[in-house]
Amino acid sequence: MPVNLRGRSFLTLKDFSTKEILYLINLSKDLKSKYRAGIKGELLSDKNVVLIFDKPSTRTRCAFEMAASQEGAYVTYLTNSQMGKKESVEDTAEVLGRYYDGIEYRGFKQSLIEDLAIHSHVPVWNGLTDEFHPTQILADLLTIQEKIFKPYENIKVVFVGDARNNMGNSWMIGCAKLGMHFVGLGPKSLWPKPSLVKQMQEIAKDTGAKIEITSNIDKAVKDADIIYTDVWVSMGEEGKYAERIKLLKPYQVNMKMLKKARNKHIRFMHCLPSFHNLKTEVGRQIYKKFGLKELEVTDEVFRSHHSIVFDEAENRLHTIKAVMVATIGNI
């Protein structure tokens, strides 16, 4: 059966089969080649999309806008909407579904985006919630294919730090679906929900994936192909810096950790934005209060030849385009 994602929402990778995820990665590759060849597309012409952001963004917003524009869609950027404040999610969804062919949402609760999808009757795309960040994983999986010349099934990914955040959860799902070896590494209080781990371990039985959660750095990073980290305090959790720094300082990604992998081709990945120097306002405030110049990753690792963080960022454009084209496009 050929893959057909027309009319589907993209809320979490849990909802997609291995074949469907690979289809989206391959479509991203084709769209990237087309873009690089300078071909202006029409795969989204006559389509209207609305991008709702209840949390800040650089990459996700710009990638959605550019991807839509490059394939001919009209975009409304919506922030500070009435939704959930003076109007129910259900009512807003009903209205937006009558104007638009697709809705992107970045915000807090996963249950909100699920309601949006139910009541708008058009595809809804998750641009990040507290629980999941699925478009980021697609970009990361494409980047891995371009940078690590091994099949997914032979790749070991170690997600270090706040292993229960949207990125940790989404990575675990992506690895389970693609038969990869996933290790969630961090302090026990920041491990993913046991129910999600169990669910992914069940999927792993079919795909050949291996899903492990541990606090043991040496064991986790040995033979890793990728060390991935994310901020220690996610959007919406501001105020938790003291607690997280105490818990996560031993899990900072530095050269010493990379060396423990004993793989000279080890790659460092991060969804960005990142605190790896003092060139941000928040970074400087943290330095003043806690005396740390770098948080989840050292500047040395971030800038090293191991780091492929900007390649990931670039691929957000092509993978987000693939999600829109596959679900509402003229294909």
Binding-site ranges for ligand NVA (CB under 6 A): 128, 133, 165-167, 230-231, 234-235, 271
Picked from ligand CP, ligand NVA, none, the partner binding residue 58 (CB below 5 to 8 A depending on kind) is ligand CP
- State which of residues 22, 217, 272, 278 lies at the interface with ligand CP (CB under 6 A): 272
Q: How far is the CB of 166 from ligand NVA (least distance, A)?
A: 5
**Residue 264: what are its φ and ψ, rounded to 5°?**
-70, -15
- State which of residues 32, 59, 181, 260 lies at the interface with ligand CP (CB under 6 A): 59
Give yes or no: 230 in active site: yes
Task: Decide: residue 95, CB within 10 A, 0-12 exposed, 13-18 middle, 19+ buried.
Answer: middle
Cβ contact 111:132 at 8 Å: no
Tokens of residue 215, six digits? 């606090």
Q: Is 315 in the site for ligand CP (CB under 6 A)?
A: no
Picked from ligand NVA, ligand CP, none, the partner binding residue 181 (CB below 5 to 8 A depending on kind) is none
Q: Is 203 in the site for ligand CP (CB under 6 A)?
A: no
- State which of residues 12, 60, 70, 307 lies at the interface with ligand CP (CB under 6 A): 60
Give yes or no: 106 in active site: yes
Give yes or no: 262 in active site: no
| Tokens 């985006």, located at residue | 113
Q: Which residues contact 282 (CB under 8 A, 6 or more apart)?
A: 275
Q: Which residues contact 72 (CB under 8 A, 6 or more apart)?
A: 40, 41, 42, 43, 44, 45, 46, 47
Q: How far is the CB of 133 from ligand NVA (least distance, A)?
A: 6
**Residue 117: what are its φ and ψ, rounded to 5°?**
-65, -40
Task: Kindly list the residues in this chain that would bind ligand CP in the complex (CB under 6 A).
Answer: 57-60, 128, 136, 271-272
